[in-house]
Amino acid sequence: MKAPQPFQYQGSKRILAPLILRYLPGKMKRLIEPFAGSAAISLACATEGRAGEYWLNDYNQPLAGLLSLIINRPEEISEHYARIWRDNDADPLEHYYRVREDFNCVRDPKLFLYLLARCVKGSVRYNADGLFNQSPDKRRLGTHPATMKQNIMAVSSLLRGRSIITSQDYRDILASARPSDVVYMDPPYQGVCGERDSRYYSGITSDDFVAALDQLNTRDIQYVVSYDGHLGARSYGEQLPAYLGLTLLEVEAGRSSQATLLGRDEQTVESLYISRNLASELNIKPARLSRTAPLDDGQLHFLAIK
């Protein structure tokens, strides 16, 4: 069964989700995503019934607000999207820019859904003043309201009554994690955002993130991290330090959309790090993987119910 996804979001792990789920426990009391984005991993887990509860956090407040509306007030957000999806009396580009201006004034999550549906590559970008400045995709008008409502209702059905949605610093979320939790993290890549990530107005430092992982180790909390990698010969950043004791899986994710547009044969390889306690429990060894590879018999026990 395919997981529903109401909006595209650049960097989403929707395509890699089936592979990532192989390296999570078969059953979890609660899955935490401190960098939720489009909540692709939680939605994939919920589709398979893998966790009892979900904690979705994103420092981007309108995005966290949008996730809350989709999950808890699906009819309201669906109807609002249908009203503003297309203004028949206005040029589609002018309509987009008007909605973008309104969003920058009031930060309404309901307006944010329309911008995500129409902006280039689902790529969220803010300027130094914190204003959303991504351009519209001139080739399309965004998801049709009927399809959008269908996706929204499916997400709500999966996560309503089972989710916490917050907008806090990731370190606060990790500090509140319990030993029974499993944490999946997809922070901004090194070498892409530096000290500032245009999705959040500010970046995260590598030293702070490594220290947070070290604390999770100390508290014996299981986690999985999508972090660095490379595109062709270009690296996203340095590997996480060896003293954390993580198991590294390199995932061949295929050609990026940008490489395809430029006619280049550059393959994206993403790194997936498994915490020491989780790797030991599931007997995970370092490997090079392809997202299209079938699940072999030696991996089936990863999905066994504990």
Indicate which CATH number applies to the domain containing 78.
Answer: 3.40.50.150
Cα separation, 233 vs 92, whole angstroms: 39
The C-alpha torsion from 144 through 80 and 149 to 67, rounded to 10°, is 120
As given in the structure block, the two tokens for residue 211 are: 């220290």
Q: How far is CA 226 from the centre of its chain?
A: 10
Structure confidence at residue 281 (pLDDT): 96
Determine, yes or no, domain membership for 96. Answer: yes
Say what the pLDDT of residue 6 is.
Answer: 87
In a domain, 130, yes or no: yes
| Domain-located, residue 63 | yes
- In-domain check, residue 15: yes
Least confident interval from 103-117, 182-196, 261-275, 280-294: 182-196
Q: Higher pLDDT residue, 5 or 228?
A: 5
Domain that holds residue 96: 1-228
Q: How many CB atoms lie within 10 A of CB 113?
A: 27
User: Among candidates 117, 89, 91, which has minimal Cα distance to 103?
Assistant: 117
Per the domain annotation, does 129 fall within a domain? yes
Closest alpha carbon to 160 in 170, 171, 152: 152
Q: Which pLDDT value is given to residue 239?
A: 85
Count CB neighbours of 141 within 10 A: 14
Contact status, residue 172 vs residue 32, Cβ threshold 8 Å: no
Q: Is 196 a residue whose pLDDT tops 70?
A: no
Q: Which pLDDT band, with edges at 50, 70 and 90, does 122 fall under?
A: confident
With a cut of 60, say whether residue 195 has pLDDT above it: no
What CA–CA distances, in Å, run from 35 to 22, 111, 130, 156? 20, 21, 19, 20
User: Is position 252 within any domain?
Assistant: no
Whether residue 28 lies inside any domain: the answer is yes
Q: Domain for residue 241, yes or no?
A: no
Into how many domains does the chain fold? 1
